[in-house]
Structure 1
């Protein structure tokens, strides 16, 4: 069974409350959930937020949209994932559970890409698959999947703050696990379709306002086509580095 856990919180430092910012009177988180729920490979979606009072509104969001919400540690996101997955696994009595990790800053994540990455995981005898080990997709199309056993091992063995905060970092860096990187046909990794800062939101807002009313299932290639016709859009957030939050964590620990 494939369980997608979508991590979301209100206390983002660079763009607070970003997941519930609205475009066309609809929350970014709602757009993302809509796309995840259209996946043919995801069996269950749970939003994993924190126990912090600021995230009460995310629990209310889940109630409004009839999506289950799990609440756990604010900063130890690895434990939040593991406890969420374990609770679901035990409740449903599932022996073979795979965990799909998605972050709440990817409101236009491509459903087709999600299913392709999951399929690559299912087709190979591996512990972890993603399209992020060597990025070729735009930032904002990130999807990861691992076995429950791999997540449990990381939970029990990861000690560094960065490994606890970034969930799959321990798995990515460990030689213990068999991993697979799913690559795009063309490298668009320099493109940002995620929401970390105001400039990111400005771009996503433009994309949703212009593409969603015409075709709510638009793909990342549709986005690139639209931006190519409107080349000024490429420069809105081009100065922001990919994975700045991760880089900051690793620098603080002297890992890079």
Structure 2
């Protein structure tokens, strides 16, 4: 994809918060599973380090003992790390954003180790140049699941932290912002729709695919682009079907169904 925005010059403190935890229900410990001899999260952080429009990258994990392994990895990589609530991820984001004095927050998740710095930079640039309250590349999604980027202002994050009550809003951070608070929203669109590809890691088959992509394109530690990933999956369609039976945003949808079930029982 041709880059359509350059590095921005501005006075805003853009803080990317990468949420990560060890207690995944479907694939425990996934963020530290090794790929080519290094933890998946280390590969992810290395890719994010190429972003030009981020002033500060912060890994946000929980205060639980098992997540100390993530804290130690961040120390080894000299990457900022903030610990907070396990289940109230909205609070974790709010505390981390304030600690690092963010003006704009970029939400990234630790299950997306193929995150593309070019796409992230472009979503940030779109947000700033359009003066949006919330900007993403998922409404509608035209990029693969695993390239998701959400950008919002500290004011919206603070208000959501003050007002949001539903567990799904607390766990998934942005629903209250994008559905209730954001008056001006933007969406960064891929020129070609690649949303049928699944490049996030929730299930064992997801990890198998991501590992094969790294083995094919990054065996010597070299950086590879989103275009190279698309070309690989086009040339080897047997890879893309490894994990096509998993629904996009399954975790969030499960939270909504559980809330509806609880509401019905309360009536």
TM-score by length of 1: 0.94
From the superposition, tell whether residues 175 and 64 of structure 1 become closer, same or farther in structure 2 (CA, over 3 Å): closer
Give unpaired runs (5+ residues) of structure 2.
Answer: 1-12, 262-267
From the superposition, tell whether residues 245 and 155 of structure 1 become closer, same or farther in structure 2 (CA, over 3 Å): same
Structure 1 segments of 4+ aligned residues over 3 angstroms from their partners? none
Is 2:260 aligned against 1:254? yes
Q: CA deviation at 1:213?
A: 3.0
Q: Deviations over 1:28-84 (max 9, x none)?
A: 101111111110101101100001111010110111111111000000000000001
Q: Distance in 2 between matches of 1:18 and 1:12?
A: 7
Answer yes or no: is the 8 Å Cα contact 1:133–1:172 preserved in 2.
no
Of the structure 1 ranges 106-115 and 220-229, higher mean CA displacement relative to structure 2 is found in 220-229
Q: Deviations over 1:101-158 (max 9, x none)?
A: 1000010111110111111011112111010121110000011111111100110010
* Number of residue pairs matched by the alignment: 249
Q: CA deviation at 1:177?
A: 2.9
Q: CA deviation at 1:216?
A: 2.8
Q: Deviations over 1:187-209 (max 9, x none)?
A: 11111011001000000000001
Q: Distance in 1 between matches of 2:244 and 2:62?
A: 31
Answer yes or no: is the 8 Å Cα contact 1:127–1:178 preserved in 2.
yes
Give unpaired runs (5+ residues) of structure 1.
Answer: none
Is 2:30 aligned against 1:18? yes
Q: Deviations over 1:166-191 (max 9, x none)?
A: 00110111154311111111111111
Q: Distance in 2 between matches of 1:88 and 1:21?
A: 28
TM-score by length of 2: 0.91
1:98-247 matched pairs, under 5 angstroms: 98-174=104-180, 176-213=182-219, 216-247=222-253
Q: Deviations over 1:224-244 (max 9, x none)?
A: 111111111121001111110
Q: Distance in 2 between matches of 1:214 and 1:88?
A: 34
Q: Distance in 2 between matches of 1:87 and 1:139?
A: 30
Q: Distance in 1 between matches of 2:220 and 2:31?
A: 23
Q: CA deviation at 1:215?
A: 7.3
